[in-house]
Amino acid sequence: MEGALLAWYARHGRDLPWRRTRDPYAILVSEVMAQQTQVARVVPRWEEWLERWPTVEALAAAPLADVIRAWQGLGYNRRAVALHRAAGVVARDGWPEDLTSLPGVGRYTADAVAAFAFGRDVLPMDVNVRRVVERTGASFSPAAGQALMDLGALVCLARIPRCPTCPLAAEGCPSRGRRFEPERKQGPLEGSFRQRRARVLRTVAAGETASEDAEAVASLVRDGLVRVDGDRVELPS
């Protein structure tokens, strides 16, 4: 199966800018940004980010307030705080052998940086890769990592996979032609606590007076996204 997959990827793989570098910092930024954010939205933001902070040392030296402002619109803003902290660790101590020791870096992100930046023999298992592996029951080498990601994102979709165009359909995929129950999705944003937090953070980032949403402010304080100075809510320095 892997041969057919790699042949498909050579023709149809996505041309993503972070696939043209082995810089672990640039790859880490792409992976953190792409968590729960569509790749099409990530590409221009990643390019802007790397233009502003081209090295891990540059990001580590940046004020956290600037980093949080630059993250606005990507969602899940605590990722910006974790990325800034991780940059500080790397700038001070270098890249650790165990990448999961970095703030905000879980197993998948660590494996992605290890494989795509450092060339380690590991297959990063994101949701798309896991879906293809589970449905085919096949084994794939680390060389197939990017191809599996793209197949899961473009063809082997969560509910209704595009089996007629799948390179693995003719390779004996046991799930060919099946339909699947919808995967658990996050609740709607409208009216949610998540939306309230985002609204307060946007207000603070814009330098305006924060709302009276004390619960949202307290949650943002716990995540290191804002601080309270008397009656004023502001971004951390």
Task: Write out pLDDT tens, residues 59-73.
Answer: 999 999 999 999 998
Q: In the predicted model, what is the mean pLDDT of the chain?
A: 92
Q: Does 5 fall in a domain?
A: no
Token pair 């992100």 is found at 109
Q: Report, as an integer, the average pLDDT of 94-122.
A: 97
Strands 232-234 and 227-229: antiparallel
Tell me what pLDDT residue 192 has: 80
The DSSP secondary-structure symbol of 5 reads H
The answer to the question of residue 180 being in a domain is no
Residue at which a domain ends, from 116, 133, 148: 116
Across the range 189-208, mean pLDDT stands at 81
Q: Which of 96, 116, 136 is the last residue of a domain?
A: 116
Flag whether 184 is in a domain: no
Question: Given this model, what pLDDT does residue 186 score?
Answer: 59
Domain contains 224: yes
Q: How confident is the model at residue 117 (pLDDT cuts 50, 70, 90)?
A: very high
Q: In the listed set 51, 83, 116, which residue is the last one of a domain according to the structure?
A: 116
Is residue 212 pLDDT above 80, yes or no?
no
CATH number of 56's domain? 1.10.340.30
How much is the pLDDT for 25? 98
How far is residue 152's CA from residue 146's CA, in Å, rounded to a whole number?
10
CA distance 180 to 6: 25
- Please compute the mean of the pLDDT values over residues 116-138 and round it to a whole number: 96
Q: Are 224 and 237 in contact (CB under 8 A)?
A: no
| 184-198 per-position pLDDT tens digit | 665 666 668 888 888
User: Is 202 within 8 Å of 72 (Cβ atoms)?
Assistant: yes
Q: What is the pLDDT of residue 210?
A: 63
Which amino acid, 130?
A: R
For residue 120, what pLDDT band results from cuts at 50, 70 and 90? very high
Tally of domains in the chain: 2
Give the integer Cα–Cα distance in Å for 126 and 136.
Answer: 16
- Please state, in angstroms and rounded to a whole number, the distance separating the CA atoms of residues 146 and 117: 13
Active-site residue, 208 included: no
- Would you place residue 211 in the very low, low, confident or very high pLDDT band (cuts 50, 70, 90)? low
User: By the 8 A CB rule, do 118 and 124 touch?
Assistant: no
From the candidates 31, 57, 181, 215, give the one annotated as an active-site residue: 31
Question: Which structural domain range is residue 46 located in?
Answer: 23-116
